[in-house]
Amino acid sequence: MMTFLLPFFVFAAVMLILLLAYVVWGNFFDRRNKIKKKRLLAIHNAVHPGKQSLGSLQDSAFETSLRLRFKAFEQLETLVQRAHSQLSAVRIMGLMFALCIVVLVFGLLLKINFLLLLVLAIAIGRMPVLWLSRKANKRRKAFEDKLPETLDYISRAMRAGHSLTSAIGMVGKEFADPIGQEFKTVFDEISFGISFKEAIGQLADRVQSNDINFFVISLMIQHETGGNLTELLDGLAKTVRERVKLRGKMRTLAAEGRASAWVLGSIPFALGGILSLISPGYMSVLWTTPQGQTLILIAAGLMAVGFFLLNRIVQIKV
């Protein structure tokens, strides 16, 4: 049965790769498409000078349709924005699709169990999303670590006579990425005519941190009701600084659990590699027989459950 289906799967994989190449070429390398996007951008700048939200005009019809039909694509766009990646959501999706196709083609040529091959293709296809998530979390942590210092800086700038908007612009110039880049974006959006409430709310959406949510909510309330903003920022800086210290202590206490996860997760692979070097014929039974491939699936499922449980245990919300 598999011998009969193999030519069909190879043909389908080749056609999908050609279709993917055509879509990528049409969206990113076609000269006529680039000219059309530039023309639309010029028209928009002429009709609405100073507006910031130009992304929808630069998007292709393919991206727009995906955004309207699939919630997952919109979430992927949000993740790309959080990670501050140079790759667009469509390119990430195309990369995931290409990885899945490559794994499926090689697996079918090697006659690997189809269920195992499907799990492997999905796992490898999700690697760009995992990379983006790791990059976004690293960026968020760097932002949170610098936030108390930033709040103190804004408070001192306002005491020196600067307005809140001017102080935000100074943060964008004086501080390094990511906090400087994000506050510079807020300052530019306010300068282009976007309301303060919307600009500061988009900052919270881009960073997605509890600490920045405290800051944004405090600014919104103060913007509506008034009050002493410098004292509010001083108190908020003290609170965020204590939260950063507490998170550091929690990470230290959870380090043993993370180390256990790495050790327990690496033991099967290390042992399998050693046994493959010592006795290749003994280990080859795992991937050359249906029973061995079933055992690999069961072991992978149990390891995934174990990693998930350990990850939930060591993640302590502060």
Domain locations along the chain:
2-46+54-125, 139-252, 254-314
CA atoms of 223 and 233, how far apart (whole Å): 13
pLDDT of residue 288: 79
pLDDT of residue 51: 43
- Residue 45 near residue 119 (C-beta atoms within 8 A): no
pLDDT of residue 103: 83
Q: Find all residues with CB under 8 Å of 126, minimum gap 6, and list them.
A: 96
pLDDT of residue 253: 77
Buried/exposed code over 177-186 (b: 16+ C-beta within 10 A; e: otherwise) = ebbbebbbbb
- Residue 215 near residue 238 (C-beta atoms within 8 A): no
In 10 A of CB 202, how many CB atoms?
19
Q: In the CATH scheme, what architecture does the domain 139-252 have?
A: Up-down Bundle (1.20)
Instruction: Report the chain's terminal Cα–Cα distance, integer Å.
Output: 55
- Kindly give the confidence (pLDDT) of every residue in the chain, 318 residues in length, as a single tens digit, with 9 standing for 90 and above: 445 555 666 666 667 667 666 666 665 555 666 565 555 555 444 444 444 444 444 455 666 666 777 777 778 888 888 888 777 788 888 888 888 888 888 877 777 777 777 888 888 888 888 888 888 888 888 888 888 899 899 889 888 888 888 888 899 888 888 888 888 888 888 888 888 888 888 888 888 888 888 888 888 888 778 778 888 888 888 888 888 888 888 878 777 777 877 888 888 888 888 888 888 888 888 877 888 878 888 888 888 888 888 778 777 666
Indicate the SS3 state at residue 285.
Answer: helix
Residue 274, burial from CB neighbour count under 10 angstroms (0-12, 13-18, 19+): exposed
pLDDT of residue 52: 41
Q: Which of 132, 130, 133, 111 is nearest to 122 (CA)?
A: 130
